[in-house]
Amino acid sequence: MLMPRNRAGARPRALPRRAAQAFASALLAAATVTALSHSAAAADTLGSAAAGKGRYFGTAVAASHLGESAYAATLDREFSAVTPENEMKWDATEPTRNTFSFGAADQIVSHAQSKGMKIRGHTLVWHSQLPSWVSGLSATDLRTAMNNHITQVMQHYKGKIYAWDVVNEAYQDGSSGARRSSPFQDKLGNGFIEEAFRTARTADPDAKLCYNDYNTDGVNAKSNAVYNMVKDFKSRGVPIDCVGFQSHFNSASPVPSDYQANLQRFADLGVDVQITELDIEGSGSAQATSYSNVVKACLAVTRCTGMTVWGITDKYSWRSSGTPLLFDSNYAPKPAYDAVLAALGGSSSGGGDDGGGGDNGGGTGATCTVSFTKTADWNDGYNGQVTVKAGSAPITGWTTTVTFPAGQKVSTLWNGSASWDGSGTVMTVRPTYNGNLAAGASTSFGFTVQKNGNSAVPTVGTCTAS
């Protein structure tokens, strides 16, 4: 919805230049003020808000996108943990027997380490993304190859990985509670999981060792089977430290109502639980509510140590068409982002709750008002400005909406950060640098709009202050 789209078009020459100048000077002002106000009140991010609750907030990362500045900037600003999305899988790390290739995964690990992020290792033993040479082995050879793979990969990253998904997706969907057919299951039998965990403990004794799966997010036959396995491991001293709940949701597979209860029953077995691959298809407030419920469930379970979303931006999601992530394709935070931040007790413009309370409400008497002015107008476009004014008390943040007439498209926004509703007509704007206002003081954000044949003016919604 923002800058990259709709920039072309037949506007008169002088006006776009003026808009561009306004944008450039606004950026300059933004940079100056940010520098001045940074130490006074930094906005919370997913990572900082989660840290306030003693949790990490991670994302899956693809090495191939690290060179994209908006991708890296969003990663570095918002997240405190990473999981390589594909780079640590068997086909990437040992494509040929005993020939290991760590280049892409190393890139992610060194990036994460340089930013002080936790790293989840994903994954050592999985039926998928498994090179074909593995499935051709005899049982004896496969056992050697599995243990060698675990040992080599874990030793390469020894001391750097917070938690490893040692075994991924070993159970069938549905009501059987049975194991899934795989080269490991079929040739090594039920004992392969235990063997993998024992090998893993020896390879890197400091990494937490997790079992990870999907469709185990509520109480059901599949999660019962995993539960029984973990219980058995704990009773026999088989090394297991955590269970990962992938949490890939959509309308056919929504967040289960017993999500928290399910996390809790696993935690009660004496393992940590983690939300490992969270994404929820949908948009707007429905998506936001589901995300918020997941975050609240984790926070309510003491041993839920953190949560990871399966990607940063909808643009690169493995199920992109379902727009399941917290940032849209232009890296604008979506309503789901706001909901997650609020559920984590974070403040969207700093200064507020540091994680103690969970209340994201405003300070006493924090109010604001908004007003709209058209600052430039030409054939097929206009510039708008919304002034945000604090009431009789100082404020540390504000949110307001701007609803656009049918067909109009915003091509540029300055001095604010936008997210959009599903229909692309309601823009919710939050501050970038300009959230802190003294009593009675004001700030403004602005935007350039393409009319697309509709000259009506937008309407501003209520201003909410914190």
Residue placing its CB nearer to ligand XIL in the complex, 101 or 425: 101
Q: How far is CA 324 from the centre of its chain?
A: 10
Q: How far is the CB of 83 from ligand XIL (least distance, A)?
A: 9
Are residues 164 and 126 in contact, defined by beta-carbon separation less than 8 angstroms?
Answer: no
Q: How far is the CB of 129 from ligand XIL (least distance, A)?
A: 7
Q: How far is the CB of 296 from ligand XIL (least distance, A)?
A: 24
CA pair distance 30, 9, nearest whole angstrom = 28
Are residues 166 and 124 in contact, defined by beta-carbon separation less than 8 angstroms?
Answer: yes
Q: How far is the CB of 130 from ligand XIL (least distance, A)?
A: 12
What is 284-321 written as a DSSP string?
Answer: HHHHHHHHHHHHHHHHHSTTEEEEEES-SBGGG-TTGG
| DSSP annotation of 95 | S
Residue placing its CB nearer to ligand XIL in the complex, 246 or 400: 246
Q: Which residue do the tokens 């926070």 mark?
A: 299
Q: Which of the residues 252 through 311 are near ligand XIL (CB under 6 A)?
A: 277
Beta-bridge partner residues of 387: 371, 444
CA pair distance 161, 367, nearest whole angstrom = 45
| DSSP annotation of 171 | B
Q: How far is the CB of 238 from ligand XIL (least distance, A)?
A: 22
Residue placing its CB nearer to ligand XIL in the complex, 90 or 447: 90
Residue placing its CB nearer to ligand XIL in the complex, 246 or 347: 246
What is 329-395 written as a DSSP string?
Answer: TTSPBPHHHHHHHHHTT--TTSSS--SSS---PPPTT--EEEEEEEEEEETTEEEEEEEEEE-SS-B
CB neighbours of residue 30 within 10 Å = 16
Residue placing its CB nearer to ligand XIL in the complex, 246 or 466: 246
Report strand pairing: 417-420 vs 459-460. Answer: unpaired
Q: Which of 45, 147, 246, 399 binds ligand XIL (CB under 6 A)?
A: 246
314 binds ligand XIL (CB under 6 A): no
CA pair distance 92, 148, nearest whole angstrom = 15
Residue placing its CB nearer to ligand XIL in the complex, 122 or 143: 122
Q: Which of 168, 262, 408, 415 binds ligand XIL (CB under 6 A)?
A: 168
Query: Site size for ligand XIL, by CB under 6 A?
Result: 6
Residue placing its CB nearer to ligand XIL in the complex, 318 or 331: 318
Cis peptide before 123 (omega within 30 of 0): yes
| DSSP annotation of 421 | -
Q: Which of the residues 13 through 32 are near ligand XIL (CB under 6 A)?
A: none
Q: What are phi and psi of 313, to 5 degrees?
A: -120, 145
- The catalytic position among 87, 169, 195, 277 is 277
148 binds ligand XIL (CB under 6 A): no
Give residues with Cβ within 8 angstroms of 3, minimum separation 6. Answer: 330, 411, 412, 413
CA pair distance 340, 45, nearest whole angstrom = 10
Residue placing its CB nearer to ligand XIL in the complex, 59 or 262: 59
Q: How far is the CB of 283 from ligand XIL (least distance, A)?
A: 20
Q: Which of the residues 73 through 112 are near ligand XIL (CB under 6 A)?
A: 85-86
Give catalytic status of residue 277 as yes or no: yes
Q: How far is the CB of 84 from ligand XIL (least distance, A)?
A: 9
Q: Which two tokens stand for residue 426?
A: 């309601």
Q: Which of 30, 231, 234, 318 binds ligand XIL (CB under 6 A)?
A: 318
Q: How far is the CB of 91 from ligand XIL (least distance, A)?
A: 10
Pick the closest to residue 301 from 271, 328, 280, 273 (CA basis): 273
Mind telling me the catalytic residues? 277
Binding site residues, ligand XIL, CB under 6 A: 85-86, 168, 246, 277, 318
